Amino acid sequence: MPAVVLVGAQWGDEGKGKATDLLGRRVDYVVKFNGGNNAGHTVVIEQTDGSTEKYALHLLPSGILTPSCTPVIGNGVVVDLEVLFSEIDALEARGVDTSRLIISANAHIITPYHRTIDRVTERFLGKKKIGTTGRGVGPAYADKINRMGIRVQDLLDERLLREKVEAALVQKNQLLVKLYNQRAIDPDEVADHLLSFAGRVRPMIRDVARELNDALDAGKVVLFEGAQAHHLDVDHGTYPYVTSSNPIAAGACTGSGVGPTRIDRVVGIAKAYTTRVGEGPFPTELFDANGEFLRKVGTEYGTTTGRPRRCGWLDVVIGRYATRINGVTDFVVTKLDVLTGLDEVPICVAYDVDGVRHNEMPVNQSDFHHAKPIYETMPGWWEDITGCRTFEDLPENARAYILRVEELIGARVSAIGVGPGRDAIIVRHDLLGQD
């Protein structure tokens, strides 16, 4: 059975949670392999009485909502224990069973001093700010790379944990006090705070790499759920306006312990338009009524931050780049219904950089920053598509839009989101099948 990687093909917020939840009903494991609680998934589930329940997930994998699935937090994730258990408690209060969750012993922990450092350093950047969420994710990854990190398994050894916290704070307290004019952080307070979660997290700790490989050997279906998106990747994204991890498909291997030869399919998620939260270049960004239309109709506000998302037309240049780097086999295009009611729907097919046409992503970030979109315009549609469940149900112009996107982006569009509901999706090709 397949191992499937799900990745965002834009700057995040593409609808990965919905796609994961859709697939989650047919898979045995859903694995979060990167990021922390700096991003979120919104999943809308229809109840038996016709009402809907909306769940905002930040740290937990979307598969937590599917009783038949084992949700996994892999070693590539940085875990804020306070957020983790707050999220678990909130779900359990709504009747969701979270007892199946397992966490890699090698996952790193976001500590209170990581959050403090994240906020004060961003503030000191002023106009040069990156747009961090201030949740300590970047500093936690920095400590991981600097071999000063605290791992989940360290909670099982109090003496070792206290030694690691004390060592980590020697330099950080110097910076906080002398450079940032902040009070020093007490190592014992931090250690006591982390140890307060040890009892609850202990039953969840696993050798995740072994468990996932054993599951694949046994014919189980494993879905790897990326947080953030391709263009926020620390290596391949719009650096430095990126996250601190690898949300690309390759990150599923390093962030879980499953080898690349075991990945069968890579599913890219893209909105029918483009959004971005935070700083950084965005060639198709709209500052007019069209941008406000997309924001309002699409309810484009960050799940984690609440910040208004920057909105623009679909950019297939970044889409092709994501296809190439991730080896995307299938795309899921979400929120097609948001485009209903427009006379024309532009698609960015290339960039103009100082009078030179670029059909592909410019090599350097300076050129990308100065890129002006070159559009191809498609006719719009006015019919309500939220009830469509087959490709043929869509209006002719909506079908033409999808087919043109498919041609331009370099991979087949296998599913189309046509509304916020769990079942408001058109499946053209089975994401877990062999067609």
Q: 234, 120, 113, 97: which is closest to 168 by C-alpha? A: 113
Q: Is 41 a catalytic residue?
A: yes
In angstroms, the CA 273 to CA 276 distance is 11
Three-state DSSP state, 316: helix
**Reduced DSSP (H G I as helix, E B as strand, rest coil) percent helix, strand, coil of the chain, to 5:** 35, 20, 40
Residue type, 164: K
Is the backbone peptide bond immediately before 240 cis, with ω within 30 degrees of 0?
A: yes
In angstroms, the CA 209 to CA 146 distance is 23
Q: Which member of 13, 28, 118, 337 is catalytic? A: 13
Q: Is 13 a catalytic residue?
A: yes
Three-state DSSP state, 428: coil
CA end-to-end span of the chain: 14
Beta bridge partners of 44: 54
- The DSSP result for 192-260, as a single string, is HHHHTTHHHHGGGEE-HHHHHHHHHHTT--EEEE-SS-GGG-TTTSSTTSS-SS--STTHHHHTTT--G
DSSP secondary structure code for residue 178 in this structure? I
Helix (H) or strand (E) holding 144: helix 137-145
Look at strands 314-315 and 344-353 and give their pairing.
Answer: parallel
Instruction: Compute CA 2 distance to the chain's CA centroid, rounded to the nearest angstrom.
Output: 21
Q: Which member of 28, 41, 143, 337 is catalytic? A: 41
| Catalytic positions | 13, 41
